[in-house]
Structure 1
Amino acid sequence: MSSLLAVGFAFSVFIYGLDAILVNLAKDFEGNLPFNSATVALLVDAVKIAFSLVFLAGESLANHVIHPVSIRESIKFSFPALLYSINNNLFVVIQVHADPATFRILSNMKILTTAILYRIIMKRLISSKKQLALVLMTLSGMGCSYSGIASHKGDAGLDSGHMTLHLSFTGLFLILIYCGISGLAGVYIEMILKRGTQTSLHFQNLIMHIYSICFNYFWYWTSSKTSSSFLDGYNAWTVAIVLTQAMNGLILSFVFKYGSNLTRILIISCATLVTTFMSHLIFHLQLDANFFLALALFLVAFYLYHR
């Protein structure tokens, strides 16, 4: 069983580290995203709903008792659904303003926001060692921000066919919002999933993604152009984005229900190395000394936090 869990964890890390890579592969020659991010979020929710229905049907055939939730309880899922719908759109937009490795390093600020909100909402104490780790992680993010902004030249971060570290001030601002929303959504969804211990995880997912698809349809309705079709700008990479983001969401819901945000943080942390390695391999990302210093600080913080 331990080997199975290890394989599952490795797969989760790989999928999580892959998402930013796929968005950058889907860009056009000018470094812009040719599709509407709201359509991607809509399709991600549709895939999650389809999988939830299949899993629920499997539980029903296996004669598992599916405990429904009241309308009052179901409304609680609307809040994390709103937060995740905002973040799913933000995630795609951020890739225009930052390279994948810089984004992944900075997105580890989720650990800081999650830890603070864990203390406030879940009433869990943070040890002095973990507080030091969070300080180092913040310094790592600051160092990576400096490196990316210093290298930013107002383009898509491409230099003679090679991707360079780049981060605009808009990108930094959006990443900070993204991390704050992610921390809040993660802690809140763990709390409500675990309170409904007898309710099927797939039924809970179904409720949340129905809310989410409604919110994402609103974003699509407000952002779509009358002359464009739903699938404008789509290619094989866009389809891969939809499938990987759907898998990410389903995997993390399992982690929230049966594990904790600490496991989620571990997955996010390890995914940083995957994204950095793949960015260098696929885009020939040019890394500088500031980036390696930020990465080293992050690895030390990671060791202290999980020791």
Structure 2
Amino acid sequence: MEYRKLKDQDQDESSASEDLESLRGKPIPAVSPVELSMWKLKSAVTIALTVLTSSQAILIVWSKRAGKYEYSVTTANFSVEALKCAISLAALARIWRNEGVTEDNRLSAKLDEVIVYPIPAFLYLVKNLLQYYIFAYVDAPGYQILKNFNIISTGILYRIILKRKLSEIQWAAFIILCAGCTTAQLNPKSDSVLQTPFQGWVMAIVMALLSGFAGVYTEAIMKKRPARNINVQNFWLYVFGMAFNAVAIVVQDFDAVMNKGFFHGYSFITVLMIFNHALSGIAVSMVMKYADNIVKVYSTSVAMLLTAVVSVFLFGFHLSLAFFLGSTVVSVAVYLHSIGKVR
């Protein structure tokens, strides 16, 4: 009996040593420098997009004076597009100086490449204009909640335009998301069921459709030529954005701009808001190029909660039970949408 026990022990030690010998000399799988660099880039863009998105609605509300915008909304949008274009050109100039001009970073104007950019540029114009006027009906936290409807539009348009399949978990997440957005807008202190009036809901749905379509279309453009430098792609998108916003200035605010000046009514907060919008737009483009809309979904969810917390201190926002429960449900829906992604 004692002999058998010792024999079994010897066999166990022998097999263990054989396992160690078989592993010896084999390299441990390591993350390549390219993968590590891409992971760092995605992480940095996600964090930046979250911070910029959470402060976006706050800065728009903060830029109001006596409940209205003293500056021209169309000139503010034009300034955003011009700033994004200037940043893209500056980044390109640095690349040309360090790496030289190549086929991938050349600022060419081939019709077949440039012709695709007016569509998302026009959609973003309408969406950005609505973004200002919706605050007549909703507060900053409510706006962030309603923005989550673009997850639904993005998912549906992914299926229609890019032919990407959605899992049953993702479709269930869409339903939960609608329930969460509605719950967060419940108004227990009034005869009206929802805090946001009908006009606000219509604007939110239209913005979601525009944002979803523009986002999916832009991602398709960005990824159609993966080697193409993102700053070249951004440049053409923002050039058309400037053109459409210039038309909007002429149609809507031409007399006011001619009489009072382009920058009339601008304040320090307005300038901060313009920089915020510009950097946020560039961050979104980088997400479309190097990641996908799921990363954008994560950022929107976290930004929603950050906006609510900051609004409590800045605007005296009341964090009601309905808003807290609705935010929780929305966050769960976003999480389900991300883990339910078809592999």
The one of 12, 15, 21 equivalent to 2:49 is 12
From the superposition, tell whether residues 150 and 183 of structure 1 become closer, same or farther in structure 2 (CA, over 3 Å): farther
From the superposition, tell whether residues 183 and 203 of structure 1 become closer, same or farther in structure 2 (CA, over 3 Å): same
Contact 2:118–2:237, Cα closer than 8 Å, also in 1: yes
From the superposition, tell whether residues 166 and 234 of structure 1 become closer, same or farther in structure 2 (CA, over 3 Å): farther
Mapped pair 1:176 → 2:216? no
* Aligned residue identity for 1:43: S
Alignment correspondent of 1:248: 280
Deviation at 1:140, TM superposition (A): 1.4
Kindly report which structure 2 residues correspond to 1:1-307, keeping only aligned pairs within 5 A, or say none: 1=36, 5-29=42-66, 31-64=67-100, 65=102, 66-67=105-106, 68=108, 70-147=110-187, 150=190, 166-224=195-253, 225-226=255-256, 227-307=259-339
Deviation at 1:166, TM superposition (A): 4.9
Once residues 42 and 327 of structure 2 are traced to their aligned partners in structure 1, the CA distance between those partners, rounded to angstroms, is 27
TM-score w.r.t. structure 2 length? 0.81
Question: Structure 2 unaligned runs (5+)?
Answer: 1-35
From the superposition, tell whether residues 277 and 126 of structure 1 become closer, same or farther in structure 2 (CA, over 3 Å): same
Deviates more, 1:188-197 or 1:285-294: 285-294
Alignment correspondent of 2:8: none
Deviation at 1:258, TM superposition (A): 1.1
Deviation at 1:51, TM superposition (A): 0.4
TM-score w.r.t. structure 1 length? 0.90
Secondary structure in 1 matching 2:182: helix
Alignment size in residue pairs: 294
* Aligned residue identity for 2:57: A
Identity rate, percent: 28
* Aligned residue identity for 1:15: L
From the superposition, tell whether residues 122 and 148 of structure 1 become closer, same or farther in structure 2 (CA, over 3 Å): farther
Once residues 41 and 199 of structure 2 are traced to their aligned partners in structure 1, the CA distance between those partners, rounded to angstroms, is 41
Alignment correspondent of 1:160: none
Deviation at 1:150, TM superposition (A): 4.8
Deviations 1:211-238 (A, max 9, x none): 1101001111111134332222211110
Deviation at 1:12, TM superposition (A): 1.9
Deviation at 1:130, TM superposition (A): 1.2
Alignment correspondent of 1:159: none
Alignment correspondent of 1:156: none
Secondary structure in 1 matching 2:233: helix
Deviations 1:126-177 (A, max 9, x none): 111111111000111222344399588xxxxxxxxxxxx9533222211111
Once residues 125 and 158 of structure 2 are traced to their aligned partners in structure 1, the CA distance between those partners, rounded to angstroms, is 22
Once residues 131 and 181 of structure 1 are traced to their aligned partners in structure 2, the CA distance between those partners, rounded to angstroms, is 20
Once residues 189 and 334 of structure 2 are traced to their aligned partners in structure 1, the CA distance between those partners, rounded to angstroms, is 24
Once residues 230 and 149 of structure 1 are traced to their aligned partners in structure 2, the CA distance between those partners, rounded to angstroms, is 43
CA RMSD of aligned residues (A): 2.0
Secondary structure in 1 matching 2:262: coil
Deviates more, 1:198-207 or 1:219-228: 219-228
Deviates more, 1:7-16 or 1:236-245: 7-16
Deviations 1:241-268 (A, max 9, x none): 1000000010111111111111112211
Once residues 302 and 5 of structure 1 are traced to their aligned partners in structure 2, the CA distance between those partners, rounded to angstroms, is 18
Larger Rg: 2
